[in-house]
Amino acid sequence: MADTRLIHGRYRLLEPIGRGGMGEVWRALDESLGRHVAVKCLKPLGPQHDQSFIRVLRERFRREARVAASLQHRGVTVVHDFGEYEGVLYLVMELLDGQNLSQLLDANERRPLPVADVVDIARQVASALAYTHEQGIVHRDLKPANIMRLTDGTVKICDFGIARLGHDIGFTSRLTGTGIAMGTPHYMSPEQIGGGEIDHRSDLYSLGCVLYEIATGAPPFDLDDAWAVLVGHRDTVPEPPRSHRSELPDFLDRAVLGLLAKTPDERPADARELGLLLGPGTPAAGLAATAVLGAVHLPPSLPPLPPWTRSMTTGHKATGTWTVTSTPTDRATALTGEWTTAGPPRG
């Protein structure tokens, strides 16, 4: 990047506001339109890196730009521009004034969020997911760090770096590598863990994990060992959120447990159905959730966890990411690592 930190004579980088394993996010000024924006830059990689890994990483970044730019919903981050400058890929997005859900939990000393806020966040994310799923897009990495709550109360889904287009499965498989599931352990669906077919209901499971955490202060399987977390997702029925926090409304408790069903067919059919279950907090809503979701139970048999999961690490809860150490293709998942709050550059 040039010393002037001016991209294409238009975007002037002002200060870093987030960083991850393979890139940075900057607050910037769009000098053509006189507005502040966020610019996500993919760090240039030198010749010491595997060239096939670099190609996959760059293509995944381009893919995020295309996917995000195709979405037009108040619950999804707006993408303004995308390009390459002096070997650096960049993505220009709306600058959001707020905090992600992980930061909100941290600011609240890891205590659960107010009940009204949990319900409001659930409804807004359900609406945004309903829209993205209707466009044939599955996010595949929904977690607290990828959901922003703005100062005006608007909730937005961010980071579509490993999203999959329903009609583009072949292309996606070339990016992810055969048999490699991608996501963050505390929020991965059982079918992701097992390397099975993934559809929009995997996002619903991940949302259930997110809602469980912001409602109780901890994810449903609050374990430090990645393998134990994965086994929990696969084998263990989670404790009802109300067993940790009695003031949670019954309709929310039922909806979250329904989202956390082990098999996709046991979950709500789609995010719009979930939105109905999260409707007005009345006894009728609770009865509707009971009628639609039914009892939560384990499927009769499940395949063993695939061998590659043994190399996963949990990272931090809420903002943690996992890493794998077997192949260069696996390392490309670092593109969608956590984005932290602004701070001094690390040495």
b/e code 18-42 from CB counts within 10 Å (16+ = b): bbbebbbbbbbbbeeeeeebbbbbb
Within 10 angstroms of residue 158's Cβ, the number of other Cβ atoms is 20
Residue of 141, 203, 253, 330 with catalytic role: 141
Whether 97 sits among the annotated catalytic residues: the reply is no
Instruction: Tell me the C-alpha distance between 129 and 82, whole Å.
Output: 24
How far, rounded to the nearest angstrom, does the alpha carbon of residue 130 sit from its chain's CA centroid?
Answer: 15
Token pair of 109 as six digits:
């000393």
Strand residues in the chain grouped as ranges (E): 6-7, 11-19, 23-30, 35-42, 79-85, 88-94, 98-100, 137-138, 147-150, 155-157, 164-165
Residue 196 amino acid letter:
G
Closest CA to 35 of 72, 78, 73, 2: 78
Specify the DSSP class assigned to residue 342: P
Dihedral angle of Cα 189, 193, 196, 201, to the nearest 10 degrees: 10
Closest CA to 67 of 148, 143, 162, 185: 162
Token pair of 70 as six digits:
């195709």
3-class DSSP state of 149: strand
Token pair of 158 as six digits:
């961010």
Specify the DSSP class assigned to residue 96: P
Specify the DSSP class assigned to residue 99: E
Q: Where are the alpha helices (DSSP H) in 236-312?
A: 250-259, 271-277, 283-293
Catalytic residue numbers? 141
